[in-house]
Amino acid sequence: KAQCTACHTAGVVGAPKFGDAAAWAPRIQTGYDALLNAALKGKNAMAAQGGGEFQDLEIGRAVVYMANAAGGKFAEPQAAGAPAEAASAPAEAASAAK
């Protein structure tokens, strides 16, 4: 959080401010993949991963959090295998109840 807010709270060097729907709208329209790519590889004054060292999943979750706070409707990325595990849990519970 601190890594992203260092620039996105005050709008440093043109960074869209957290929660600023007007500033985020054109970025949100490019889609999640484009936003994630910019965050992972850097864009303009923003260094790759905001200048930190994070897992791609962490960056993806940060992108979704910030974009959605400004009106985006992106689903939070899940760790590999998480959706399959979550989907199989109700079926396993139903089988166990029989």
Give, for all 98 residues of the chain, the pLDDT tens digit: 778 989 999 999 999 999 999 999 999 999 999 999 999 999 999 999 988 899 999 999 999 999 999 999 999 999 988 765 444 444 444 444 44
Residue with tokens 């060097």: 13
This prediction has a pTM of 0.79
Question: Could you give the CA distance from residue 72 to residue 34 in angstroms, rounded to a whole number?
Answer: 13
2-97: in CATH 1.10.760.10: yes
Q: What is the dihedral of CA 41, 38, 14, 67, to 10 degrees?
A: -140
Q: What is the pLDDT of residue 83?
A: 60
3-class state of residue 43 by DSSP: strand
Least Cα distance to 74 among 83, 66, 82 occurs for 66
Domain ranges of the chain: 2-97
